[in-house]
């Protein structure tokens, strides 16, 4: 997608601002933050023991921490194909260090880890015989629903757009199939799917606003990162100046909200029948994940 006679930055900013302030207003007026679920819903499961639930949540939180730490400190680094802000061209970049944590993939996996950390905290308090703080009873379901929504978006964008877009441009995609990328692009939805089945938490329809806020926060970060930190848009379609940028941003926010609808559907299905919910989650996860690198023509760099 090219650039028009006028950069679309103001138009894109207007659309994202409308979504942001509308979502914040809804969160404030709906009372969703004041409604917390019970300790039994948040910290227990009807399908597995409390100890098994705690171990699973602790494992997922630890997996997030270890994976992101590896990405940040791995001296070998990696390469990608960002859009350079000034030149407005896509070219290969070798990158290492904490700046590798800038992509949305890493942001969503940090949210994934934080969600499981809060839930693990609730489980630990419950097993210890204590009373789970109200903030954890509010935050755990919100964080879970948001992280699953964002994970579905990440996995689908990687599997159905980024991989094939890079191949179409003649770029190598082997950097998308390193162990930590596979964890963040595939294990994310698998583990969250398991969590949805064994969790006792409900996914309230009012939670839809939180993934939108998270998405807009990343949009703002991407602009700061391109303008003041690295000089690149990690995802070329995130350049808010492009002719179709307002529609792209709108589509991403709508798609993310649609994925929240899928999370609600899977939650309700799992409540009705854990077996049916697990089957649907397994099928969807198998369809959207990509575990091996597609065949590419010789000569890709």
**Mean pLDDT of the region 263-287:** 97
Per-residue pLDDT reduced to its tens digit, 183-209: 999 999 999 999 999 998 999 999 999
Query: Closest Cα to residue 191, out of 287, 106, 112?
Result: 112
Q: Phi and psi for 257 in degrees, rounded to 5?
A: -65, -35
Residue 81 in this model has a pLDDT that exceeds 80:
yes
Give 78's DSSP letter: E
User: Contacts for 251-256 with beta carbons within 8 Å, 24 or more apart?
Assistant: 252/153, 252/215, 253/16, 253/19, 253/212, 253/215, 253/216, 255/153, 256/149, 256/150, 256/153, 256/211, 256/212, 256/215
CB 214 within 8 A of CB 56: no
pLDDT tens for residues 11-50?
999 999 999 999 999 999 999 998 899 999 999 999 999 9
196: closest CA among 154, 243, 144, 248?
A: 144
What pLDDT, on the 0 to 100 scale, is given for residue 297? 57
How far apart are the C-alpha atoms of 195 and 199, rounded to whole Å? Answer: 6
204 touches 141 (CB < 8 A): yes
The count of residues in the chain is: 301
Cα(24)–Cα(2) distance, integer angstroms: 33
CA distance 98 to 103: 11
pLDDT class for 294, splitting at 50, 70, 90? confident
Q: What are 225-244's pLDDT values in tens digits?
A: 999 999 999 999 999 999 99
C-alpha to C-alpha distance for 160 and 152, rounded to whole angstroms: 12
Domain range annotation of the chain? 9-31+39-288
Q: What does the pLDDT look like over 108-121, one tens digit per residue?
A: 999 999 999 999 99
Average pLDDT, the chain: 94
Residue 170 burial by Cβ neighbours in a 10 Å radius (0-12, 13-18, 19+): exposed
pLDDT tier at 296 (50, 70, 90 boundaries)?
Answer: low
* pLDDT classification of 84: cutoffs 50, 70, 90: very high
H, E, C per residue of 179-211: HHHHHHHHHHHHHHHHHHHHCCCCCCHHHHHHH
Q: What is the DSSP code (8-state) at residue 94?
A: E
Using 50, 70 and 90 to split pLDDT, how confident is the model at 75? confident
Q: Is 72 helix (H, G, I), strand (E, B) or coil?
A: helix
Q: Are 111 and 150 in contact (CB under 8 A)?
A: yes
Which neighbouring-strand residues pair with 93? 80
- Banded pLDDT at 63 (limits 50, 70, 90): very high
pLDDT-based confidence at 298, cuts 50/70/90? low
Residue matched to tokens 């559907």: 265
Is residue 301 predicted with pLDDT exceeding 60? Answer: no
Q: Is 232 helix (H, G, I), strand (E, B) or coil?
A: strand
pLDDT of 276 higher than 80: yes
């Amino acid at each position: 997608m090219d650039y028009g006679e006028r950069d679309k930055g103001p138009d894109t900013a207007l659309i994202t601002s409308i979504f942001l302030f509308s979502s914040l207003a809804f969160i404030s007026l709906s009372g969703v933050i004041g409604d917390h679920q019970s300790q039994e819903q948040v910290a227990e499961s009807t399908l597995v023991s409390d100890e098994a639930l705690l171990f699973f949540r602790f494992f997922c939180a630890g997996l997030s921490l270890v994976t992101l730490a590896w990405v940040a400190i791995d001296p070998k680094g990696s390469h990608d194909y960002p859009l350079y802000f000034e030149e407005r061209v896509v070219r290969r970049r070798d990158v290492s260090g904490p700046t590798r944590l800038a992509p949305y993939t890493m942001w969503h996996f940090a949210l994934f880890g934080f969600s499981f950390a809060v839930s693990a905290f609730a489980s630990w308090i419950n097993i210890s015989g204590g009373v789970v703080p109200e903030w954890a009873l509010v935050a755990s379901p919100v964080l879970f629903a948001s992280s699953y929504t964002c994970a579905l978006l990440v996995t689908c964008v990687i599997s159905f757009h980024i991989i094939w877009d890079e191949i179409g441009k003649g770029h190598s995609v082997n950097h998308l199939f390193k162990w930590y990328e596979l964890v963040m692009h595939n294990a994310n939805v698998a583990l969250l799917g398991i969590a949805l089945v064994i969790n006792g938490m409900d996914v309230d329809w009012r939670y839809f606003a939180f993934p939108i806020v998270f998405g807009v926060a990343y949009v703002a970060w991407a602009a700061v990162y391109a303008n003041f930190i690295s000089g690149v848009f990690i995802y070329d379609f995130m350049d808010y100046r492009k002719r179709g940028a307002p529609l792209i941003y709108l589509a991403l926010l709508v798609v993310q909200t649609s994925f929240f609808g899928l999370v609600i559907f899977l939650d309700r299905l799992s409540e009705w029948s854990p077996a049916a919910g697990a089957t649907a989650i397994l099928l969807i996860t198998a369809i959207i994940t990509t575990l091996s690198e597609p065949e590419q023509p010789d000569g890709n760099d």
